[in-house]
Amino acid sequence: MPKVPKVPSVPIPDMDIPFVPKSNKTSYSMEASEINNSTDIYGNDEEAGNKRAKSEAPHDRTWEEKEKEESFELEEDLYSLLYLARTCSMTTFVTVGVFLLQMFILGLIFADLTAEAPVHKEVVFFPLEVPVDIPTTVAVAQFVSLLVATIKEEDIFVSLKALIVVGHDERVSVRFPGATPLKWWIANTLRFLTGLLNVAVSFFFIVGSSTVLEIFESFAAVEFVSYIDNMIFRLAKWYAAMGVFVFVLTWFGVAVPNHCLLSSSTRHSTNRGYLGKMLQRMTIKVESVQLENRREKGRYWALLVFVFFCLTLIPLLACWTKVRLAQSQGFYLKQAVSPRLVVRFGDDELKLKRSTQFALNGTTARDLSSYDRTATLEYAFFSGSYEIVQRDGKLERHGGRPIYVERDANYRNDSAYSIFYYCEEQSTWVYTILGLGNATQGRDVCELGWLAVSEQTEEYSLEKVPQNWKVWTGIVSDSIVKIESDSCELPSDCSLNGVCGEDKVCKCNEGWQGRHCNVEAPYCPALAFVKYGKTSYEYSFDGPFELLTNEDDGSPIEIYERPVYYRKTPVDASVCKKEERYELYLYAGRRFFMTFWCEEDLSRYVVDVGGGKTEFRLQQNLHAYWDNVLGLELKWFSEVTDSHTGTGLQMFQVRDSYSTGSQSAFGIFFESQGTFECLNVPCEDDRTVCGRKGKCAKYDFQSRIAPNTTLEAFHKCTCSDFYGGLYCQFNPNGTYAKEHFSEFQANVTSDKLEKPSIYEYQRRYWEPLVVASGGVVTVIREEDEESNNDIGVVELNETAVFPGGSNIFSNRSNSGEGEL
């Protein structure tokens, strides 16, 4: 057996380390070959660098040398410096600072990715923002990216190997007193956390990407953060003469041999590292340290790597699979789009030819017995509420987008409904009616059968599609189609008069109604068409029109989510065979209409209630086009409006005349000087509503078809001294400004002005008190009225003219009240 030579002492400041002889008690065997290589731990820096370069030369290796190749080298990063450095040293502070910087950047990215991300516990338990759907190519790219993101993160596997297979080496503590078992665990734990968080952030980036390019961009962002500790390490080690060049090469993936950086000639011909000489020396010492693998655990390292890889990858793939399934089944699409939309078409129309094809024979959900196949198709009649189509709680889609059908339509057995769907071939949204023309084929061939088509778009939500559409009117015409969400998300969407339910439908508080709880309940029990004039004697009204309600519970019948008012009047047999006509005031998608229907035309809505009496019961899902709501004759129609009450609107009168007027889809019309008003005046709580010449009283109008309105809630203003109007606002001889009345009415009834402001407004816009005496009109000054009732009389140049005829809202006597 050859004699084992002694190893010379290694000079260390203030300490001499003698050779430690071989001991059978140590866990490391110190054979002759290992003693010769002991400079890896005890030798000086230059000898370690020369030995590394020499070991790279090919030569015949012994079994011990091959075993030595499996030794563990410290990773060239700041966490290895943390392990070797003293606790209170600059190296430790720099390393901890860089780790905190990495955590801060990753935390900012993570916070930004999840700040507005929803939590869908049906899929994953954490907030996650993902596209509603992705192409197959992007899904494949996401799967591959998750594999690559896990494999490339060396910090995870290096840390696990260091902690499980290698472990702390007591011999390193001899040379580096700061290298303790605790520091070994801390350094590798920090490295492991950095790698794990990098993988987690990569997952959020990858799953949230909608294109392949976004996936690569996310890789670049995360890779930059994970490289910070390695970059700082190399900046500390590199020399000024070649640092920038080597940094650029390394950034682009070009490997730079260590001996090019560590050779003696290079070291002596260059300056210190970019972060100081102390850190530079520590980086070189990191490369001089090698640790032996624990052979009993090292044999199973390949298996451990596979286990750790699976433990990291499988949760990621499991979450990705659940997300992908939810996307393919339309779950995220359902969450992203509104379940209900409000669509408003323009006044475009299509005159159907007698040769138009129809596919309405299979329709069983709608009675089309009164449908006129030559009636002009008014697009405005198809305005209203549209809902997404679902089956078993899942969206039905076309072109990867939801299908919207008209309200109250049966998607399965009603081909007379309107439908919006997406045409993937042309990247456009399409509107059509399946029962008209070749639209049934058009759902499969997108370029055929549409009635309206949007601009090219990739939007998944119909409400986000631009408003500029092409509409078929016999030619392709430009039109505006307004589409808005009719669902709620916040309490303010319910006008603060209700709460938004889980189904995104407002649940209104008592006293409010409507889709967004923006309509006071109950509806007005009766309306009148009020015609305004310059004096109280030119004021008149036509009515009342009563609220149509269900006989069962007294609830109002609504069409297009608005109430219906009607009255029955006798007519000549030449007009209606049964000599009775129904006048209906109802909403039809875009406007309110006053139409005349003969009783025989509405026989399906008139039921026998016994005793020789009939009642008019209009179906809830009446459609303006399919049920011919314009009926026998159209009398009035309103301006375009979203109003739910139908009051206070600008009205237009339709006349069969050759005189000057405007020609529209509804015929020749003229601007009317009147409007519909509610006969119920809200004056019971505020006496100023009826003015100084009016008195609030209960209305004696008896209505058997308005059971939801009590007589106690029905009031009117009774006027005196020849004043007239619903609010006694008309002076017998004064000029009336309608805009003043409208503003006053709004301010008083909604109590938007405080009481002093109301009285000031009243004095400003209302005419003075008038008393007729002996044919002379006198004016009572308000200040005189308020002081000791001393009346100052001013003679006017004009006398009040009281025309003949009756006026139901005025009083001819000075003392009485008006009679209805």
Tens digit of pLDDT for each residue in 711-721? 446 788 888 88
Check whether 130 has a pLDDT greater than 70: yes
More confidently predicted of 535 and 37:
535
When pLDDT is cut at 50, 70 and 90, the band that residue 75 belongs to is confident
Mean per-residue pLDDT for 504-530? Answer: 86
pLDDT score for 34:
38
Q: Are 516 and 537 in contact (CB under 8 A)?
A: no
Q: Which of 186-195, 300-309, 437-446 has the lowest mean pLDDT?
A: 437-446
Residue percentage of the chain with pLDDT more than 70: 63
pLDDT score for 715:
83
More confidently predicted of 194 and 773:
194
pLDDT score for 482:
92
Residues 162-183: b if buried by 16+ CB within 10 A, e if exposed: bbbbbbbbebbbbbbebbbeeb
pTM value? Answer: 0.65
Mean pLDDT of the chain: 71
When pLDDT is cut at 50, 70 and 90, the band that residue 615 belongs to is low
pLDDT score for 297:
54
pLDDT score for 521:
82
When pLDDT is cut at 50, 70 and 90, the band that residue 436 belongs to is confident
Q: Are 265 and 281 in contact (CB under 8 A)?
A: no
Nearest CA to 385 among 487, 480, 235?
487
- What would the pLDDT profile of 193-246 be if each residue is shown by its tens digit? 888 888 889 899 999 888 898 888 877 778 778 778 777 787 777 644 345 455
More confidently predicted of 597 and 328:
328
When pLDDT is cut at 50, 70 and 90, the band that residue 754 belongs to is very low
Nearest CA to 359 among 453, 447, 429, 432?
432
pLDDT score for 139:
92
Q: Are 792 and 784 in contact (CB under 8 A)?
A: yes
When pLDDT is cut at 50, 70 and 90, the band that residue 412 belongs to is low
pLDDT score for 274:
57
CA atoms within 13 A on the CB side of 529: 22
Mean per-residue pLDDT for 357-373? Answer: 65
pLDDT score for 515:
82
Through-space distance between the first and last CA atoms of the chain, rounded to whole angstroms: 134
- Delineate the domains of the chain, giving CATH numbers in brackets: 10-69 (no CATH), 78-238+273-326 (no CATH), 338-485 (no CATH), 488-519 (2.10.25), 520-548+564-677 (no CATH)
Distances in whole angstroms, Cα of residue 76 to Cα of each of 172, 237, 776: 16, 10, 111
Q: Which of 162-176, 367-381, 393-407, 440-454 has the lowest mean pLDDT?
A: 440-454
Q: Are 336 and 210 in contact (CB under 8 A)?
A: no
pLDDT score for 361:
61
More confidently predicted of 271 and 121:
121
Task: State which of 23-32, 195-204, 292-301, 694-703 shows the largest mean pLDDT.
Answer: 195-204
Mean per-residue pLDDT for 651-662? Answer: 67
When pLDDT is cut at 50, 70 and 90, the band that residue 478 belongs to is very high
Q: Are 723 and 694 in contact (CB under 8 A)?
A: yes
More confidently predicted of 634 and 453:
453
Question: Which tokens belong to 647?
Answer: 């009051």
Say how far apart CA 820 and CA 526 lie, in whole Å: 14
pLDDT score for 638:
92
Q: Which of 6-10, 450-454, 694-698, 786-790 has the lowest mean pLDDT?
A: 786-790
Q: Which of 148-157, 209-218, 461-470, 618-627 has the lowest mean pLDDT?
A: 618-627
Residue percentage of the chain with pLDDT more than 90: 7
Length of the chain (residues): 820
When pLDDT is cut at 50, 70 and 90, the band that residue 256 belongs to is low
When pLDDT is cut at 50, 70 and 90, the band that residue 273 belongs to is low
pLDDT score for 770:
39
pLDDT score for 559:
82
CA 743, 749, 755 angle in degrees (round to 5)? 85
pLDDT score for 452:
92
Check whether 469 has a pLDDT greater than 90: yes
Q: Which of 155-159, 681-685, 769-773, 788-792 has the lowest mean pLDDT?
A: 788-792
pLDDT score for 597:
80
Beta carbons within 10 angstroms of residue 781's beta carbon: 15
Query: Helices (DSSP H) in 208-300: which residue ranges?
Result: 212-226, 228-237, 243-251, 259-262, 264-268, 277-287, 295-298
Say how far apart CA 656 and CA 612 lie, in whole Å: 36
Check whether 557 has a pLDDT greater than 90: no
When pLDDT is cut at 50, 70 and 90, the band that residue 149 belongs to is confident
pLDDT score for 411:
57
More confidently predicted of 375 and 682:
682
Check whether 280 has a pLDDT greater than 90: no
pLDDT score for 122:
87
When pLDDT is cut at 50, 70 and 90, the band that residue 604 belongs to is low
Residues contacting residue 652 through CB under 8 Å, at least 6 positions apart: 636, 637, 638, 639, 669, 670, 671, 672
Nearest CA to 809 among 744, 749, 739, 722?
722
